[in-house]
Amino acid sequence: MYSIRLEGDTRRMLRKLQQLSDLDKKGVNAALAEAMRDSTLERFRQSKGPDGRPWKTSIRAATTGGKTLVKSAQLRNSIKSSSDETGFAVGTNVKHAATHQFGEKGRTIRAKTPKGLRFQIGGRWVTKKQVKITIPARPFLGLSDEDMEEIKDTIEDFFEDMED
């Protein structure tokens, strides 16, 4: 069994502890969830991962002048946040999200029709029944250093508002 004995004027410490218990955890987590969702959407605009490194440009984006991971915007538009008094989450339920987040080596793509897959390699048209490809990781979920600062600042703002 452990015991702690506090001596002296503990009123300030007890007030701080009371502030912690009075903190609007649901409100803090809702604010954090939305800030982290915004940060994730900004990664799609900048084509960068949480670590600040640019995503490898996709072949489609390079040939069409589009943006990597934003062909139909389905993935980007699927980013949602949720929160309650216990925490927050930012993510997606899109089936191919994990492939882009983590990458995939040796994925086999099979033709849907008897005509096969038709594509260009070095200016020459090629037809195949199936091909193996590697999809590089292009992380879009995660916390950057800036996100961690945002979390810290948001929590500090909530504490300051409590003191007013």
Token pair for 7? 């001596």
Would the pLDDT of 130 be above 90? yes
Residue ranges per structural domain of the chain: 16-103+138-163, 104-135
Helix, strand or coil for residue 163?
helix
- Percent with pLDDT over 90 in the chain: 68
Task: Kindly report, residue by residue over 64-115, the tens digit of the pLDDT.
Answer: 899 999 999 999 999 999 999 899 999 999 999 999 999 999 889 999 999 9
Which whole-number Å values give the CA distances from 127 to 40, 62, 114, 115, 140, in the listed order?
38, 21, 11, 8, 33
Residues paired with residue 88 on neighbouring β-strands, in sequence order:
83
What local confidence, expressed as pLDDT, does residue 112 receive? Answer: 92
Would the pLDDT of 123 be above 90? no
Instruction: Please enumerate in sequence order all residues whose Cβ is within 8 A of that of 76, keeping only pairs 6 or more positions apart, or say none.
Output: 41, 44, 69, 70
What local confidence, expressed as pLDDT, does residue 59 receive? Answer: 87
CA-wise closest residue to 133 among 54, 73, 49, 59: 59
What local confidence, expressed as pLDDT, does residue 132 receive? Answer: 93
Task: Kindly report, residue by residue over 25-52, the tens digit of the pLDDT.
Answer: 899 999 999 999 999 999 999 999 999 9
